[in-house]
């Protein structure tokens, strides 16, 4: 994502090729023009590199007698319709299905390309549509057609303010064209382009920042939220806040003020998931958002040892932890997948995550098993962020392979919630304390949790080590004195949740918890999978508390 340094070596604008050259040499591909408001053709911009590759691709098609990598599309006035799978010369097992389960696929979308916008900043691979203009109706139609065909239900569109080119496109031609489809859209709020961020982030205690946030959302309410294709969750219009971790100060209070002022309460979705395991502070903050996700799991890929484990495995383990953290804050969780990352053509020097369709399929299968059953959504980063090479939009080099992976592994597959296979232990404390110079709200230092059936041990969990456990809100980071390890529990609302394997609970008749109270006399209500099983009074010394589970886990 922006900002990018300007590439002076790419500052010469590509020029449109004459119609006879394009039509004569690339017959059968998408004609590089769209129909403007006066019903006249306007030529898309093709760089020399794009033109040469189109010629070479066409030559291979003619020699091989196959469809090749070029899109089989036909341009008509006002619409560009791709061939259906039945119309292609080669049937494939990855053709999109007409029968769709409940999984929703979202993709981040960038309407910022044009003859004087973005292409000169560099990009990896060559768009099948050439260096197009995001404001051309034919380009919009083709991308919406691909979204519908391959199961992308919803586009999260980059928005840089009321006076930006992106907004003009979204509010006019894009908004008009998407009405004719079943695709929905929402706004990706580019915060760094709207606030004067400092090295410490965006301070929401400053009145001018709160005023800007309210002003922008009031504009969105009037000009986007009321669009019939605008994406909502529980009736609330979605706003994706990027980068949400840059916000500082009373963020919760700022959101509450905005919600109180607007007619339509926004659903705030933040890219709050980091490449690290959630900390206790993270679990305390997730409740500020209606939903959380990771914008680009590439950051996680950079942290793993590829010789030790696969990206798909690391993604699964990581998302399980964040799914639990979100559940603790009663916040929705959206797993995200990325087909690759390469920003070298845009002047970056980060390691390249190769764009591999088969690896992407593995990652998709892994991510969809970490979803939230309340929303059944998986996010793709991105539809067309070519600067970072995260796009799934068809290219001359990759064809439709990445969209086919989206269709096969996400759009036509079910999301599985990892918490459905786990039991929840909830502790509710009647009070908490915050030690000096410590913002945490503490009640109980938990050392061990055990389950047994009569005298038979079923499970014994070391809370500090966290093996086999996932933690929701109100659970803080591991501590140790060498002899034992523990985690403080409490939270801003005096409630914490721990998730562990369900089979052990189904047969258990007793639960024991070992730990230390912050003070004597703290009363704690214990719930197992939503059912209250007892109340204990904590001691300020290490002690073991035991509760019966009548009739196992049956209600």
Domain ranges of the chain: 103-416, 419-548
103-416 and 419-548 share one CATH topology? no
Q: pLDDT tier at 91 (50, 70, 90 boundaries)?
A: very low
Report pLDDT for 63: 38
Return the minimum-mean-pLDDT range out of 18-22, 352-356, 394-398, 482-486: 18-22
Query: What is the separation of C-alpha 432 from the centre of its chain, rounded to a whole number of angstroms?
Result: 34
**CA–CA dist 431, 443 (Å, integer):** 7
pTM: 0.81
251-261 vs 207-220: helix axis angle to the nearest 10? 40
Query: Which alpha helices (DSSP H) does 221-291 contain, by range?
Result: 251-261, 280-285
Return the minimum-mean-pLDDT range out of 96-110, 119-133, 480-494: 96-110
Q: pLDDT tier at 365 (50, 70, 90 boundaries)?
A: very high
Q: pLDDT tier at 226 (50, 70, 90 boundaries)?
A: very high
The residue behind tokens 């892994």 is 366
- Could you tell me what percent of the chain has a pLDDT over 90? 68
Q: pLDDT tier at 306 (50, 70, 90 boundaries)?
A: low
Mean pLDDT of 395-419: 95
In eight-state DSSP terms, residue 198 is B
pLDDT value at 72 more than 60:
no
Query: What is the separation of C-alpha 324 from the centre of its chain, rounded to a whole number of angstroms?
Result: 16
Highest averaged pLDDT of the listed ranges 69-83, 89-103, 114-128? 114-128
Report pLDDT for 328: 67
**CA–CA dist 429, 158 (Å, integer):** 43
Q: pLDDT tier at 507 (50, 70, 90 boundaries)?
A: confident
**CA–CA dist 541, 310 (Å, integer):** 43
- Cis ω before 465 (30° cut-off from 0): no
Cβ neighbors of 281 (< 8 A, separation 6 or more) are: 439
Nearest residue to 156 (alpha-carbon basis) of 384, 444, 478: 384
CATH classification of 419-548 is 2.60.60, yes or no? yes
Mean pLDDT of 401-408: 97
- Could you tell me what percent of the chain has a pLDDT over 70? 80
- Cis ω before 3 (30° cut-off from 0): yes
Mean pLDDT of 234-254: 93
SS3 (DSSP) at 94: coil
> Cβ(139)–Cβ(34) under 8 Å?
yes
Q: pLDDT tier at 303 (50, 70, 90 boundaries)?
A: confident
DSSP string, 519-546: STT-EEEEEETTEEEEEEE--SS-EEEE
In eight-state DSSP terms, residue 199 is T
Mean pLDDT of 529-555: 86
103-416 — its CATH code?
3.20.20.80
Mean pLDDT of 323-344: 92
Return the minimum-mean-pLDDT range out of 95-104, 139-148, 275-284, 444-453: 95-104
In eight-state DSSP terms, residue 222 is I
Evaluate the CA torsion angle 551, 330, 335, 230 in order and state its sign. Answer: positive
**422-475 pLDDT per residue, tens:** 999 999 999 999 999 898 999 999 999 999 999 999 999 999 998 889 999 999
pLDDT value at 81 more than 70:
no
């Amino acid at each position: 994502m922006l900002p990018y340094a300007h590439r002076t070596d790419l500052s010469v604008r590509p020029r449109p090729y004459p119609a006879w050259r394009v039509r004569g040499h690339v017959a059968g591909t998408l004609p590089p023009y769209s129909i403007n408001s006066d019903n006249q053709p306007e030529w898309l911009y093709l760089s020399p590199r794009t033109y040469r590759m189109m010629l070479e691709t066409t030559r291979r098609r003619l020699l091989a007698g196959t469809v090749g990598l070029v899109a089989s599309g036909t341009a008509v006035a006002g619409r560009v319709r791709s061939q259906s799978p039945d119309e292609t010369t080669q049937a494939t097992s990855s053709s999109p299905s007409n029968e769709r389960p409940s999984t929703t696929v979202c993709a981040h979308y960038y309407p910022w390309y044009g003859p004087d916008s973005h292409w000169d900043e560099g990009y990896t691979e060559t768009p099948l549509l050439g260096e197009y203009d995001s404001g051309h109706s034919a380009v919009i139609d083709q991308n919406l057609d691909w979204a519908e065909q391959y199961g992308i239900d919803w586009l999260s569109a980059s928005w840089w303010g009321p006076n930006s080119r992106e907004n003009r496109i979204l509010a006019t031609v894009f908004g008009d064209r998407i009405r004719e489809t079943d695709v929905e859209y929402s706004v990706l709020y580019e915060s760094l382009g709207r606030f004067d961020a400092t090295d410490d982030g965006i301070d929401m205690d400053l009145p001018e920042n709160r005023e800007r946030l309210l002003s922008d959302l009031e504009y969105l309410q009037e000009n986007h939220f009321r669009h019939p294709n605008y994406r909502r969750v529980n009736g609330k219009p979605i706003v994706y806040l990027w980068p949400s971790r840059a916000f500082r100060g009373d963020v919760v209070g700022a959101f509450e003020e905005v919600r109180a002022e607007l007619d339509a309460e926004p659903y705030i979705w933040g890219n709050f998931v980091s490449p690290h395991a959630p900390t206790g502070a993270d679990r305390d903050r997730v409740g500020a958002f209606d939903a959380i996700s990771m914008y680009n799991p590439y950051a996680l890929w950079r942290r793993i040892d590829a010789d030790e484990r696969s990206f798909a495995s690391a993604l699964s383990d990581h998302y399980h932890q964040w799914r639990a953290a979100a559940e603790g804050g009663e916040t929705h969780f959206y797993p995200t997948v990325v087909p690759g990352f390469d920003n070298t053509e845009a002047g970056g020097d980060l390691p390249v995550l190769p764009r591999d369709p088969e690896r992407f399929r593995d990652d998709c299968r892994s991510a969809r098993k970490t979803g939230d059953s309340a929303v059944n959504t998986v996010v793709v980063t991105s539809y067309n962020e070519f600067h970072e090479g995260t796009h799934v939009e068809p290219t001359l080099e990759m064809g439709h392979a990445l969209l086919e992976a989206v269709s096969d592994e996400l759009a036509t597959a079910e999301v599985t919630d990892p918490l459905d296979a786990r039991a929840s232990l909830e502790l509710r404390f009647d009070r908490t304390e915050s030690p000096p110079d410590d913002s945490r709200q503490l009640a109980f230092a938990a050392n061990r949790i055990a389950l047994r059936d009569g005298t038979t041990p079923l499970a014994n969990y070391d809370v500090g080590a966290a093996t086999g456990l996932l933690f929701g809100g109100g659970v803080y980071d591991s501590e140790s004195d060498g002899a034992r390890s523990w985690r403080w529990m409490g939270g801003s609302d005096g409630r914490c949740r721990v998730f562990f394997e369900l089979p052990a609970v189904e047969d258990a008749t007793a639960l024991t918890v070992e730990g230390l109270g912050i003070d004597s006399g703290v009363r704690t209500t214990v719930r197992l999978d939503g059912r209250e099983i007892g109340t204990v009074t904590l001691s300020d010394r290490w002690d073991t508390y035991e509760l019966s589970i009548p009739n196992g886990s049956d209600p």
